[in-house]
Structure 1
Amino acid sequence: MIYLNYNNLDSETQERLLAKSKEEVTYRLGEDLKRFAEKHHLDFEALLHEEAVKNLYSYTYVFNI
């Protein structure tokens, strides 16, 4: 087995995983993030991107070869 982190993946895979992570974060935290962004005058998309990247680094990627 090979253990990788998000940085070790190719750019196409990173983009695909980032899109999925954004969907997951929006599902779990979407309303809370929107309220937080409005309250603190932040860009919601930038905040969503930041949370999605944090979410990606919480995963361990394992490949069987």
Structure 2
Amino acid sequence: MSRPKLLPPLDDGALSEGGAESLQAVIDQVDTAAIGEPAFRLVITGTGPTLVTDDGTVNAPLAALAP
């Protein structure tokens, strides 16, 4: 019986950065003068650490949302 091949780990940093850029693009489309700035920005990833980027975006794995 052969062992299954493991996939290489994903670069969570690159994925988080892309998620933060996409989130900012959405925020840029919102009329913040009418409804105000977002209270915070959160990018949810599959895995990885919880961290705050230089621009204040919180990156957190899905498991961090568990009660």
Give the TM-score taking structure 2 as reference length.
Answer: 0.33
- The answer to which structure has the higher strand fraction is 2
Q: Relative CO higher for 1 or 2, CA cutoff 8 Å, sep ≥ 6?
A: 1
- The answer to which structure has the higher helix fraction is 1
